[in-house]
Copies of this chain bind each other. A is one copy, B any other.
């Protein structure tokens, strides 16, 4: 778990494309886009050039030539250094090997959910179900399209992972929404009363304590 000198995942993608052949930054973006990597790694120009620069400073890549055609801005072609190859292997291994805690927005939302009254939350979760279904459709469409263009399944493994995670969340959210709608959720009673301003629900978060929440 060494701290990486360049920690943006886009840098990992840069190292990966350069492990194939030398190229200039814009071409890297094209390559990654062509393979549909923008689905799993955020590619944006601002970060791309910053990241290439940072990789250069860390000596993981180096410029091999610069040229210009016409009066276009100069293109600098970069190539991977041996140190860069090592970094690529180690970093990628670490990512596959260890699961680091991330903080998805929805988890934060859930943890503050009781701030809203339960009658409000139920329809919101229903909307989420729809939203997840749409996203699921997009992922499937993306996979079909990529496969149609001849890409092997191995190169769509990250999309399969995303699909599976979406399905898992979908099932869970559906279940939670149902419990809310049918009133079978534990603690729903006090949650409701608390939002009515009921004094008897002062101890809301904690069983048998004075009032406070979140």
11 contacts between A and B (CB under 8 A): A12-B108, A96-B124, A99-B106, A99-B135, A110-B157, A149-B206, A150-B207, A152-B186, A152-B205, A154-B186, A155-B214
CB distance from A92 to the nearest CB of B (A): 6
Q: Is A213 an interface residue (CB 8 A)?
A: yes
The verdict on A187 contacting B108 (CB below 8 Å), with A31-B214, A97-B127, A164-B172 known, is: no
Q: What are the residues of chain B within 8 A of A197 when measuring CB–CB?
A: none
Q: Is A115 an interface residue (CB 8 A)?
A: yes
Mark interface residues in A103-124 (1 if CB within 8 Å of B CB, else 0): 1111111111111100011001
CB distance from A114 to the nearest CB of B (A): 6
Identical chains in the assembly:
2
Residues of A participating in the B interface, judged by any CB pair closer than 8 Å: 9, 12-13, 16-17, 19-21, 31-32, 35, 37, 39-42, 88-89, 92-93, 95-116, 120-121, 124-125, 127-128, 131-132, 135, 149-155, 157-158, 161-162, 164-165, 168-169, 172, 176, 185-188, 190-191, 204-209, 212-214
CB distance from A20 to the nearest CB of B (A): 6
CB distance from A147 to the nearest CB of B (A): 10
Q: What are the residues of chain B within 8 A of A101 when measuring CB–CB?
A: 135
Q: Are A150 and B115 in contact (CB under 8 A)?
A: no
Q: Are B114 and A93 in contact (CB under 8 A)?
A: no
